[in-house]
Amino acid sequence: MKHRKKGRKLNRDAAHRKATLRQLSCNLIREEQIITTIAKAKELRPYIEKIITRAGEDTVHNRRLIKRRLNNDLAVKKLFEKIGPRYVERPGGYTRILKLDHRKGDGAPRALIEFVG
């Protein structure tokens, strides 16, 4: 039974899962929309939304917390200069997931995750 088990394993160990979410987050911040599998997109959504909520207030503490989470200076800079201020008034729901076709190679269901507005 899977009671009280939060999150998806994505067929990875913990370190690989953390690295995958970190890389997906940096790519989403840089490109503002990415195509990935549905499972990864659903797992990425709460991860990135917590980061964007923090980026709404530009303090040294928030910058350090997000830098530790993303480990990418360019992503942190863009997050605090462009993306964070865009969503200051919005009370959450910064991303949307749109289902796409299946991937040609292995038939995995794909999704587009992007920032709203």
The domain that holds 60 is classified in CATH as: 3.90.1030.10
Residue 60 lies in a domain: yes
- Residues 17-42 have pLDDT tens digits of 999 999 999 999 999 999 999 999 99
The structural domain count of the chain equals 1
C-alpha distances (whole Å) from 104 to each of 19, 37, 100 are 25, 12, 12
Residue 6 lies in a domain: no
- Residues 41-86 have pLDDT tens digits of 999 999 999 999 999 999 999 999 999 999 999 999 999 999 999 9
Expressed as residue numbers, the domain containing 97 is 14-115
pLDDT above 90 for 101? yes
pTM, whole model, 2 decimals? 0.93
Residue 89 lies in a domain: yes
**Beta-bridge mates of residue 112:** 35, 98
Residue 49 lies in a domain: yes
Residue 8 lies in a domain: no
